Amino acid sequence: MSFNKILTSCFLSSFMVVAHAVPMGDNPLKNVPFANQTNHGFSLDFDGSKFVKRSTQVNGEVISYRAIEKIVYVKNPVEAEYQTINFYVPEAYFLGKKLNGYSAETAPIFLPNSIGGYMPAVAATAEAKGMGGKTSTILQALKQGYVVASVGARGRTLGHDSNYTGKAPAIIIDLKSAVRYLHANDAKMPGDANKIISNGTSAGGAMSALLGASGNSTDYENYFAELGAAQASDSIFAVSAYCPITNLEHADMAYEWQFYTLTDYERMDMSKLTAQTYNDRSKGMPMITGSLDNKQLIVSQQLKAQFPSYLNSLNLKDTKGLPLQLDADGNGSFKDYIAERIVASANKAISEGIDLSNEKYLTIENGKVTAVNFDAFIAHKKRMKTPPAFDALDLSSGENNLFGDKTTNNKHFTAYSFENSQAKGKMADSNIIHIMNAMNYMDNPQSATYWRIRAGSSDYDTSHAISAILAIKLRMNGKQVDYALPWGIPHSGDYDLVELFSWIDKIAK
Ligand code: DHB
């Protein structure tokens, strides 16, 4: 057993939860002027002369790069502070050098979004430290030779006078507009706009997946003209999605399918979270705990009962062409498929020195995990959310808030919660619900070719069925999909950059 590994996994499970979704202080670029503001508005013509040069240490090595921060990616921004790209390029490319085999022309463009909780997100900066003083993903990517276009986007709580300008679908329209800017300026910008690799976690993972799935779909067309987005392609090459909170129409039933045996819940109380409680964990994080009441138990049963027919309607197949299905009780080959991913994850952890011999839900023979008791595995911790996990009957969830609009701050987005609403809630526009879900673009011929999807085995923010369905459908539609449930990892992202970057190098070179 490696002490280091145990430390790492303890660190991950106690500290990395929803790191990105927590307010991390003010925008470091708040007082920095926009890079492309002119006397007549924002110019969508990239101007490479406006850079600043920076050098910084990354893992003992000096990385020099050029930065052009706060490029507004639409002509008529609604909230310019959020609708920006921070653009970073390794200095080596201006000296005619190669890095990791890439040149200024061939380097892939890494496109991290900093979206969490479907909240407004300013574009991340290279110099901002990650959790525990960690070097930013952006600097690590520059070290690897990638050009980085870090993107911000409007989110659900945005607005000065009123409270709606960042409601769905603003967040995806913004990401697509940023991609259009990169394609429109490809000849002038370092990096290859035909090699854009999107990266995001949780809500940001869902939006990364949607960006990749919906490339060039005409469904979004009506939204671009008003913003003055560049007239160019919004398709991307590859998607990295960590724990995507996607497929919201079916996430409630999937949640109960996986977690219905768990009647106790426990989650961070985001409403009580302050910078101080977040930074000083010695007193513990503010938590909400409780047990499902009788009404909630009935909701759980009803939602769980809906999942098998949805799942079976997808006609999922494994790599051998065998059907992945569920019976009325929620058992069957689809459940076995996820259990097999858990087994593979446990075996990888063992090969990396983690001792799993005390995990009673695993069958271990000769040092290899051969089976998992799925229901016992699920019971190793409490459920996180109360039913319905996403479309709350009292309209209290972040997702209800996402689907609100100018006149109604929170709305339902599933038939079940609309019919059972305790708040006489309204239903969101069906078209907006449709264009927010990556699953609705699985057969889009212009969707990204390469996909890397990760959801930690200890992530209880959404059912593992959600990422599994996405991965399987993509593979069935001819995409190259790398899908895994890394062992012991809770709801978080960017924890395996060495592996992420080696995947990028494999597909981009
Ligand atoms: C996020 C987490 C959630 O549990 C959720 O429902 C939506 C978003 C997030 O961390 O981005």
Q: Cβ(199)–Cβ(208) under 8 Å? A: yes
- Domain total for the chain? 2
CA 242 vs CA 16, 111, 329, 441, 462: distances in Å: 13, 14, 29, 19, 12
Would you place residue 264 in the very low, low, confident or very high pLDDT band (cuts 50, 70, 90)?
very high
198: alpha, beta or left? (left if phi > 0; alpha if psi -120 to 50): beta
Dist. CA 68–CA 47, nearest whole Å: 9
Q: State the residue for tokens 């498929």.
A: 337
Token output for 47: 């101007």
With a 6 A CB cut-off, is 18 part of the ligand 1 pocket? Answer: yes
With a 6 A CB cut-off, is 63 part of the ligand 1 pocket? Answer: no
Residues 216 and 315 in one domain: no
Residues 340 and 209 in one domain: no
- Residue 48 has a CB neighbour count (10 Å cut-off) of 14
Q: Cβ(192)–Cβ(108) under 8 Å? A: yes
Task: Please say which residue of 363, 389, 415 terminates a domain.
Answer: 389
Asked if the model's pLDDT at residue 414 lies above 70, the reply is yes
Would you place residue 158 in the very low, low, confident or very high pLDDT band (cuts 50, 70, 90)?
confident
With a 6 A CB cut-off, is 461 part of the ligand 1 pocket? Answer: yes
Task: Please say which residue of 324, 358, 389 terminates a domain.
Answer: 389
Residue 361, in any domain of the structure: yes
Residue 385, in any domain of the structure: yes
Residue 148, in any domain of the structure: yes
Residues 257 and 234 in one domain: no
Token output for 187: 């000849």
Dist. CA 308–CA 469, nearest whole Å: 13
Q: Cβ(86)–Cβ(67) under 8 Å? A: yes
Nearest CA to ligand 1 atom 9: 117
Q: Cβ(180)–Cβ(83) under 8 Å? A: no
Nearest CA to ligand 1 atom 1: 117
Give the pLDDT confidence of 374-393 residue by residue, as tens digits: 999 999 999 999 999 999 99
Asked if the model's pLDDT at residue 23 lies above 70, the reply is no
Out of 22, 390, 491, 492, give the residue to mutate to test ligand 1, the one with the largest number of ligand atoms within 8 Å of its CB. Answer: 491
Residue 481, in any domain of the structure: no
Asked if the model's pLDDT at residue 352 lies above 90, the reply is yes
- How many angstroms is it from 244 CA to the middle of ligand 1? 9
With a 6 A CB cut-off, is 490 part of the ligand 1 pocket? Answer: no
Give the pLDDT confidence of 189-241 residue by residue, as tens digits: 999 999 999 999 999 999 999 999 999 999 999 999 999 999 999 999 999 99
Residue 175 belongs to domain spanning: 37-246+492-508
